[in-house]
């Protein structure tokens, strides 16, 4: 197949699951793929003239990571060609290393992301201001509405125009209702997405997104993705050019509450108001959340003052009710400090409700994990933030060693902040003082193990060990000190704990290849480890 004329001056991006030298190549090098640069073989190698590997285009209904969405390849080909993609009969040839240059710095910036309802017989329009950019993509997902684009000069674009207009591409998938317009070098100004549902008889839900390719992007970074009860979250924001924050930025931040009301937030770069360092281009504010529970959607519009171009990013933070039931190992005791076979004793424990709401009929079970016998089962009522004492009878039997476990059911609540503290364990050795027996399940000191595997190309396991019951947090950073991911675990029992990381940041996007650091903090102590993450 011959490349279209409009591709002659383009640069193409090569990417593939097993091809680490991803980068930009010229159109002549692209032809080396069996002279069929638009054909694909499953999840091997394809061409993308739009975005860098680490920030693939976002498609409603598709995974954002190319590793998990082989359908991205034929969709991309379809966009470029305007016709159904084909499959190559022979494997595509890879480029020699000398034909591959360094990675591109271009990123995908989301100008608009919206969900809504469209009434039958209605025509709906939505505007989006497009700055100078080499590429614009507008996507809609709806059942049966006609989708058109209106340019700043008033010209209405339809799928038929892709046959004659240079740099205009259209893709649709009737089975999912997905429709995509892709425009090269779009005219700066106000573009209008037009949805025509005048021929439909039923209302429908829609999803609309608009994205551009640029070296500038807004980075929104809430300190945490979930806040419990009424509180606030520290929001950091920066407009970055090739990953460098720009100090000359004007901000407009709007927060959408769960009940659809909104409020605005003022960002500061003054070293106060929640901001760490004045004049560094990283703005911050404390965003109040509550009293409604649910997702708080934060939309930040950043205007680059030198060129008056507006960029947008969206993030969300969930306000949730704190729900957590716990039994602490240190509070599991016996009515006697030393026991022998045949003794009748009471196993005593305290069941805690760390949540803000009362809990009724919380199921509690008492087990001897060595013999495998359930010694008792009962239920307790717990006030908000309260606790209850329980006691269970035990007639001591052989062997000489026992492990008494008291568990409050993890299924009592719809969800819990932490399931790792639902059980408390008391080891018992016949004839020895119970309170002097070292818990066999806990380490002697705080430990943070190296990541497994390292380097990591997929899911990685982070393991830490606590010598005593405590809160613990893990925070992952890149080499520039930016937080990538955070885990906070409350009231963890002594012992070994694991965290699985899937290679994505707080925003759900894949983290680029690089050296990462992660820090364990608990009880005033910190430990650090490093990880080489490879995409």
Find the CATH number of the domain harbouring 267.
2.60.40.1930
Is the residue at 505 inside a domain?
yes
Give the number of domains in the chain. 5
Confidence (pLDDT) at 89: 29
| 204 & 128 share domain | yes
Could you write out the DSSP letters of every residue in 436-490? GSPPTTS-SS-EEPPPBSSSBSS-EEEEEEESSSEEEEEEEEETTS-EEEEEEEE
| 203 & 230 share domain | no
Q: What tokens appear for 247 in the block?
A: 């100090």
| 374 & 312 share domain | no
Q: Which of 179, 197, 214 is the last residue of a domain?
A: 214
Is 156:150 a contact under the CB 8 Å cutoff? yes
Is the residue at 442 inside a domain?
no
Q: What CATH number does the domain containing 139 carry?
A: 2.60.120.380
| 185 & 117 share domain | yes
What length does the chain have? 535
Q: How many CA atoms lie within 13 A of 392 on its CB side?
A: 23
Confidence (pLDDT) at 80: 40
Give 119-134 pLDDT, tens digit per residue: 877 888 889 988 878 8
Is the residue at 257 inside a domain?
yes
Q: Which of 436, 468, 491 is the last residue of a domain?
A: 436
Q: What is the pTM of this model?
A: 0.46
Confidence (pLDDT) at 251: 93
Is the residue at 441 inside a domain?
no
Is the residue at 523 inside a domain?
yes
Beta bridge partners of 297: 256, 316
Is the residue at 87 inside a domain?
yes
Q: What CATH number does the domain containing 459 carry?
A: 2.60.40.4070
Q: Which of 58, 76, 99 is the last residue of a domain?
A: 99
Per run of 10 residues, the mean pLDDT along the chain (length 535 residues) is 33 33 33 34 32 30 31 42 33 28 50 81 86 85 81 90 81 81 89 83 80 80 81 88 80 93 94 86 92 91 77 86 87 91 94 89 94 94 92 94 92 80 89 64 74 79 84 85 83 79 83 86 86 81
Q: Cα–Cα distance between 402 and 400 in angstroms, integer?
A: 7
Q: How many CA atoms lie within 13 A of 414 on its CB side?
A: 4
| 305 & 341 share domain | no
What is the extent of the structural domain holding 189?
A: 107-214
| 113 & 158 share domain | yes
- Distance, first Cα to last Cα, the chain: 31
| 344 & 358 share domain | yes
The single-letter DSSP state of residue 202 is: S
Q: What CATH number does the domain containing 356 carry?
A: 2.60.40.10
Confidence (pLDDT) at 359: 94
| 42 & 93 share domain | yes
Give 457-508 pLDDT, tens digit per residue: 777 878 888 888 888 889 998 877 788 888 887 778 787 787 888 888 887 7
| 334 & 414 share domain | yes
| 209 & 223 share domain | no
């Amino acid at each position: 197949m011959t490349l279209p004329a409009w591709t002659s001056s383009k640069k193409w991006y090569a990417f593939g699951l097993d091809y680490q030298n991803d980068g930009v190549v010229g159109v002549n090098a692209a032809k080396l793929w069996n002279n069929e640069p638009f054909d694909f073989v499953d999840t091997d190698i394809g061409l993308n003239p739009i975005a860098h590997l680490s920030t693939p285009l976002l498609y409603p209904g598709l995974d954002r990571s190319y590793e998990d969405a082989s359908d991205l390849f034929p969709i991309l080909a379809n966009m470029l060609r305007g016709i159904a993609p084909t499959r190559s009969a022979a494997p595509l040839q890879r480029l020699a290393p000398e034909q591959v240059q360094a990675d591109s710095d271009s990123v995908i910036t989301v100008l608009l992301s919206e969900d809504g309802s469209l009434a039958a017989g209605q025509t709906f329009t939505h505007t989006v201001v497009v700055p100078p950019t080499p590429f614009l993509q507008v996507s809609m997902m709806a059942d049966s509405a006609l989708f058109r684009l209106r340019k700043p000069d008033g010209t209405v674009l339809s799928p038929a125009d892709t046959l004659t207009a240079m740099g205009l591409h259209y893709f649709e998938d009737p089975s999912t209702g997905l429709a995509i317009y892709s425009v090269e070098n779009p005219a700066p100004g106000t573009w209008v997405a037009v949805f025509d549902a005048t021929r439909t008889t039923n209302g429908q839900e829609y999803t609309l997104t608009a994205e551009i390719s640029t070296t500038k992007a807004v980075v929104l970074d809430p300190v945490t993705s979930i806040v419990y009860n009424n509180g606030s979250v520290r929001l950091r924001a920066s407009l970055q050019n090739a990953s460098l924050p720009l100090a000359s930025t004007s901000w407009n931040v709007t927060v959408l509450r769960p009940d659809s009301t909104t409020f605005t937030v003022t960002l500061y770069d003054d070293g106060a108001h929640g901001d760490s360092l004045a004049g560094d281009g990283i703005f911050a504010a404390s965003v109040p959340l509550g009293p409604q529970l649910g997702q708080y959607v934060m939309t930040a519009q950043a205007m680059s003052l030198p060129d008056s171009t507006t960029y947008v990013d969206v993030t969300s933070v969930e306000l949730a009710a704190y729900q957590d039931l716990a039994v602490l190992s240190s509070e599991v005791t016996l009515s006697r400090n030393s026991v022998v076979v045949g003794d009748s004793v009471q196993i005593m424990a305290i069941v805690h409700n760390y949540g803000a709401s009362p809990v009724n009929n919380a199921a509690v079970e008492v087990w001897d994990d060595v013999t495998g016998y359930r010694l008792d089962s009962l239920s307790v009522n717990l006030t908000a933030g309260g606790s209850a004492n329980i006691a269970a009878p035990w007639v001591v039997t052989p062997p000489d060693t026992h492990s008494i476990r008291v568990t409050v059911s993890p299924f009592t609540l719809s969800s819990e902040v932490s399931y790792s503290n639902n059980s408390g364990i008391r080891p018992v050795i016949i004839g020895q003082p119970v309170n002097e027996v070292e818990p066999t399940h806990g380490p002697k000191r705080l430990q943070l193990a190296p990541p497994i595997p390292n380097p990591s190309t997929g899911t990685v396991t982070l393991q830490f060990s606590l010598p005593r019951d405590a809160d613990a947090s893990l925070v992952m950073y890149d080499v520039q000190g930016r937080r990538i991911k955070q885990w906070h675990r409350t009231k963890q029992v002594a012992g070994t704990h694991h965290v699985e990381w899937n290679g994505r940041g707080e925003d759900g996007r894949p983290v680029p290849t690089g050296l990462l650091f992660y820090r364990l903090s608990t009880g005033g102590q910190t430990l650090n480890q490093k990880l080489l993450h490879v995409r």
